[in-house]
């Protein structure tokens, strides 16, 4: 089996500690390329903590300690040779609440490419249009690119944040409850967007919405108390899970 093509991300024996408190216990998980993987489970069960290990966002917390390995395309992202800046360009994060920069729509999208050294206006114009088109936002904002991004609706702001991420050409999109602050119509647009984007990217989404996980994901992983209880094809998880705890959660008996 060719790990570079059959597995985009491979997690083995992942433990994570906040000081003396163990938040993740021996996580083993393979993520396929060009797929949507949903992480479900009750609040505080380790979903977001796990998501943040995939681009080393937890490194920003002093007390965090990690055992085990996470490999992206076969490369250990926690090895001393790993370049965090390069990793976060390849593996980007969309947060729960939209966080556009207080600048124009254009400058929000051009920000990343400029940081990485792109100064040519014609190239930046092309990147901005391409990224906004990929995020299904171009037609809504093409006549107001120089207006403040803060004037957009919540749903538009979230798609802008996705476009900002796409502008630096990542390979993996991490989404931490990206629709929890959005109205139903905006939520639907983001969900539809994931189905388009998975043709080019690998997407991992944390969601508390069971229906959303069932609608948009190819595989679903159920977390409970920092343990990965089971992972499988999404239709299998929702119709015939292997573990009673999974069934109890998805049928609403707890969580």
Q: pLDDT class for 141, splitting at 50, 70, 90?
A: very high
C-beta separation of 82 from 21 below 8 A: no
Say yes or no to pLDDT of 102 above 50.
yes
Confidence at residue 92, expressed as pLDDT on a 0 to 100 scale: 96
Tokens of 99: 């966080």
Asked whether residue 160 is assigned to any structural domain, the reply reads yes
DSSP string, 135-176: TT-HHHHTT-TTSBGGGS-HHHHHHHHHHHHHTT--SEEEEE
Residue-wise pLDDT for 174-198, tens only, equals 999 999 999 999 999 999 999 999 9
Domain count, the chain: 1
Q: Provide the residue range defining the domain that includes 208.
A: 3-250
Say yes or no to pLDDT of 5 above 90.
no
C-beta separation of 170 from 91 below 8 A: yes
Q: Residue 11's beta-bridge partner residues?
A: 29, 70
Q: How far apart are CA 83 and CA 59, in angstroms?
A: 13
Mean pLDDT, the chain, integer: 95
Tell the residue number behind the tokens 């089971």, with chain if given: 230
Asked whether residue 227 is assigned to any structural domain, the reply reads yes
Asked whether residue 218 is assigned to any structural domain, the reply reads yes
> CA torsion, points 128, 196, 101, 155, in degrees to nearest 10?
130
Asked whether residue 201 is assigned to any structural domain, the reply reads yes
User: 167: domain CATH number?
Assistant: 3.40.50.300
**Residue whose C-alpha is closest to residue 112's, from 172, 59, 162:** 162
Asked whether residue 255 is assigned to any structural domain, the reply reads no
CA 69 to chain centre: 19
Residue-wise pLDDT for 44-73, tens only, equals 999 999 999 999 999 989 999 999 999 999
**Residue whose C-alpha is closest to residue 24's, from 255, 250, 226:** 226
Residues 6+ apart with CB under 8 A from 169: 89
Asked whether residue 199 is assigned to any structural domain, the reply reads yes
**Residue whose C-alpha is closest to residue 22's, from 68, 55, 60:** 68
Name the helix (H) or strand (E) containing 77: none
Confidence at residue 2, expressed as pLDDT on a 0 to 100 scale: 35
Q: Which CA distances in Å does 152 have to 70, 121, 132, 160, 174?
A: 37, 24, 14, 9, 23
Asked whether residue 20 is assigned to any structural domain, the reply reads yes
């Amino acid at each position: 089996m060719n790990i570079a093509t059959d597995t985009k991300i491979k997690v083995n024996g992942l433990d994570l500690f906040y000081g003396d408190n163990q938040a993740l216990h021996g996580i083993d998980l393979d993520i396929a390329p060009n797929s949507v993987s949903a992480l479900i489970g009750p609040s505080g069960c380790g979903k977001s903590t796990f998501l943040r290990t995939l681009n080393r966002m937890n490194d920003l917390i002093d007390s965090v300690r990690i055992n085990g390995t996470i490999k992206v395309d076969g490369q250990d992202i926690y090895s001393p040779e790993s370049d965090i800046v390069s990793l976060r360009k390849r593996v980007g994060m969309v947060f729960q609440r939209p966080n556009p920069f207080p600048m124009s729509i254009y400058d929000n999208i051009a920000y990343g490419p400029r940081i990485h050294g792109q100064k040519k206006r014609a190239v930046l114009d092309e990147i901005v249009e391409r990224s906004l088109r990929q995020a299904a936002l171009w037609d809504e904002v093409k006549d107001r690119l120089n207006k403040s991004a803060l004037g957009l609706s919540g749903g538009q702001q979230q798609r802008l944040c996705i476009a900002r991420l796409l502008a630096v050409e990542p390979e993996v999109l991490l989404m931490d409850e990206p629709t929890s602050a959005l109205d139903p119509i905006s939520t639907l647009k983001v969900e539809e967007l994931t189905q388009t984007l998975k043709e080019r990217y690998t997407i991992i989404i944390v969601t508390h919405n069971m229906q959303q996980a069932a609608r948009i994901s190819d595989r679903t992983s159920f977390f409970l108390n920092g343990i990965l209880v089971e992972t499988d094809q999404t239709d299998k998880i929702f119709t015939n899970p292997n573990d009673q705890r999974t069934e109890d959660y998805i049928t609403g008996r707890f969580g």
